[in-house]
Amino acid sequence: MVIHTKYTRIQEKKVVKLKQKVKALTKRNRGAGLAVIIRELNPVLRGFANYFRVANCARVLKQVMSWVRRRLRCVQLKQWKKPSRLHRRLKQLGYRPPFKYIKMQSWRNAASPLAHLAIPSAYLHDDLKLMDLTKIKTGITVPEFGVS
């Protein structure tokens, strides 16, 4: 943590290190299901958030959480292998075809609207129990010295 006059923040290299840990747990060729990956990912996210919650880091935690959800969507798309399985999931959720064709192994397509509709954030958090870092209360105010 870096302590400034009135606030604290997370060092950028600590966020990079967290992302490296998350990348190691969410490799697309791992062969584990999404629920197993989330079960292993939650302690890492919880530890990071609890350690750095004294910092003014709500924006950083929101960005990290968005990136983690995209990684998980990417893993799920890779496991579905074919766009037809994505389209089947969209039909199960009540969406009407025609749907666009997307490449299932693409990092870019993990942020597509189709991926967000098929794998919504609520599904990841509520059903699969992914820890939500944006719900953690962060930040403390450092009192000024000499002021009573």
Concatenating the DSSP letter of every residue in 117-148 gives HHS-HHIIIIIS----GGGS----PPPPTT--
pLDDT grade, residue 146 (50/70/90)?
low
pTM of the model: 0.88
Amino acid (1-letter code) at residue 125: H
DSSP 109: G
User: 55-94: per-residue pLDDT in tens?
Assistant: 888 999 999 999 999 999 999 999 999 999 999 999 999 9
User: 98-118: per-residue pLDDT in tens?
Assistant: 999 999 999 999 999 999 999
**Quick check: 6 pLDDT over 80?**
no
CB 2 within 8 A of CB 60: no
CB 115 within 8 A of CB 77: yes
d(CA 117, CA 97): 13
pLDDT grade, residue 145 (50/70/90)?
low
Average pLDDT over all residues of the chain: 90
Q: Provide the token pair at 9.
A: 């923040």
Structural domain spans, the chain: 2-79+122-135
Helix or strand run (H / E) with residue 8: strand 8-9
d(CA 103, CA 28): 14
